[in-house]
Amino acid sequence: MPVSIYASLGRQEGLLREMEVVANNLANSSTVGYKSDRAVFAEFIVSGGRDAPSVSMGGLGGHAFDLTQSNLAFTGSDFDLALQGEGYFLVQTEAGERLTRAGHLQISSEGQLIDSNGNPVLDAGGGTIDIPPTVEHLSIGSDGSISVDGILSGEIGIVLPNGQILRDSNTYFSAPDGFEPAEGATVIQGALEQSNVSPVLEVSRMIEVQRAYEAGQALLEREDQRLSQVISAVRQR
């Protein structure tokens, strides 16, 4: 069995996927609160059958987010919040509670604090946050305390997941193992955390992926030539 073709195919398949990951990162290079993705390749062993050695193959094994904090863009709006340090805002969606770093907030017509997708932002106790319609000045302290015209009226929820987080659309993350209040994060009012995609890194990965893919294709081509040579040699006998 010409295993080299199959070993190479697994990698080619993975490289195509990695290209999609790079494309998605670059497409989201202006998405507030976006965390870039990394494709992770893993080795797996395939048994070569009886009397044959087993073969090591490489393929796309998983992926990891790069959760490093990105730079903050100052907007000056009272309703733009960024987090410094580890932590997430808590949002109530139809599918359940979700975590996000995107703090471009608004007030709904019912006076609730909502995010840019219209989902209510939750306070430290897990309830929605109501802002009185007469608010003149909304101020959010570095610990998340909300004061409306100088009167303390709640605390915005900042949490840390207990375990791994999964990615959802709209820059949301879900925490299947639950979450707990975050201690280390500070809130910065009037700023938004930009996407942490580094264009330089992504473009260099893109070139790497493309060249690796072309190298893989060249290998397949050589293997194809080798096999046809074998076949014609066998025929001539």
Q: Which residues bind another protein (CB under 8 A)?
A: 15-17, 19-32, 34, 37, 39-40, 60-64, 75-77, 79, 102, 104, 106-111, 116-117, 133-137, 149, 164, 166-171, 176, 199, 202-203, 206-207, 209-210, 213-214, 217, 220-221, 224
Q: Which of 31, 41, 11, 75 is nearest to 211 (CA)?
A: 11
- Nearer to another protein among residue 29 and residue 69 (C-beta): 29
Residue 64's φ and ψ, nearest 5 degrees, are -135, 145
Q: In angstroms, what is the minimal distance from the CB of 30 to another protein?
A: 6
Tell me, letter by letter, the H, E, C secondary structure of the chain. Answer: CCHHHHHHHHHHHHHHHHHHHHHHHHHCCCCCCCCCEEEEEEEEEECCCCCCCCEEEEEEEEEEECCCCCCEEECCCCCEEEEECCCEEEEEECCEEEEECCCECEECCCCEEECCCCCEEEECCCCECECCCCCCCEEECCCCEEEECCEEEEEECEEEECCCCEECCCCEEECCCCEEECCCCEEEECEEECCCCCHHHHHHHHHHHHHHHHHHHHHHHHHHHHHHHHHHHHHHC
Q: In angstroms, what is the minimal distance from the CB of 234 to another protein?
A: 21
- Nearer to another protein among residue 52 and residue 166 (C-beta): 166
Q: In angstroms, what is the minimal distance from the CB of 168 to another protein?
A: 7
As a whole number of angstroms, the distance between CA 196 and CA 79 comes to 21
Q: In angstroms, what is the minimal distance from the CB of 208 to another protein?
A: 10
- Nearer to another protein among residue 183 and residue 208 (C-beta): 208
Q: In angstroms, what is the minimal distance from the CB of 147 to another protein?
A: 14
- Nearer to another protein among residue 218 and residue 230 (C-beta): 218
- Nearer to another protein among residue 54 and residue 210 (C-beta): 210
- Nearer to another protein among residue 86 and residue 130 (C-beta): 130
Q: In angstroms, what is the minimal distance from the CB of 188 to another protein?
A: 17
